[in-house]
Amino acid sequence: EIRKPLVDRASEWATRLGYDNHVHFIYSNATIHLESIMSTYPGRVENVYIQFPDPHFKKRHRKRRIFQPNLVRAIRDMLPPGGTLFLQSDVHFVSCAMRNCFEYYAADSFHLAPQHAGHDAVFFSHTTDPRATPSEAGGPASSSDVPLLVSTDVPSSDDEDASAVTGEHASGAGHDAPGNAERDAGGGGDDDDYDRMDSKWALGGWLKENPVGVPTEREYACGIKGMPVYRVLLVRN
């Protein structure tokens, strides 16, 4: 987390609850420092969560978004087979971009979790389930979500990046997808590469419930207000 007051508050709460020996909050920019932080962690990473990152609505600030090729590579390499990656936001285009970024740069390393296979467990941004047959849908099936900009009261801090929260450590060796080596090398990516891609993972929809079972403060507020949250759960191959 890059907002130090939030790190201090969370650490204080953990201490009050007696969990300070079990959970730790780090003041850092995950996009830049995740690899170096995890290189000295002796445990095993089994889960990675990226939850409600700063939307960075302004086009000129898109490079500040947490989901960048270098972070995708770092997460891919630290998660072992079977490890999970959970992405969620209440801003539709942010969830689309997060999902698409991992699909674009690491489609050969992740797959949608089984939870996405159940119709009752997911919802879709379109009024028609894109997995429906053309006759059921009244037209051709779609395989991607249109990146709609939804109205939200989330304040966008265009001077800050949001955080990634990691579970208990991991060590895994990933490999670059064919043709992705050059795109990975620079750290940053062309937003249009994945923002406008035709996502196959979109066919899995958005999870209705948080599979972790522990909502963030933002997530809780969204539930109270009846606002949708767009969730994707991926599993490391």
pLDDT of residue 23: 92
- In a 10 Å sphere around its CB, with 0-12 CB exposed, 13-18 middle and 19+ buried, how is residue 103 labelled? buried
Active site positions, annotated: 54
- Hey, what are 217's tokens? 């403060």
Contact (Cβ atoms closer than 8 angstroms) between residue 68 and residue 215: no
> Binning pLDDT at 50, 70 and 90, where does residue 125 land?
confident
pLDDT tens sequence across 33-79: 999 999 998 999 999 999 998 886 566 556 666 678 899 999 999 99
Distance, CA of 197 to CA of 88 (rounded, Å): 19
Task: Give the whole-number percent of the chain exceeding pLDDT 70.
Answer: 66
Q: Decide if pLDDT at 100 tops 80.
A: yes
Helix (H, G, I), strand (E, B) or coil at 160: coil
Tell me which of 22-36, 50-64, 156-170 is least confident.
156-170
Q: Where are the chain's structural domains? A: 4-236
Scan for tokens 């730790």, then name that residue. 24
Distance, CA of 164 to CA of 137 (rounded, Å): 37
DSSP for 132-158, written as a single string: S-HHHHTS----S---------PPP-T
- Which strand (E) or helix (H) includes residue 102? helix 92-106
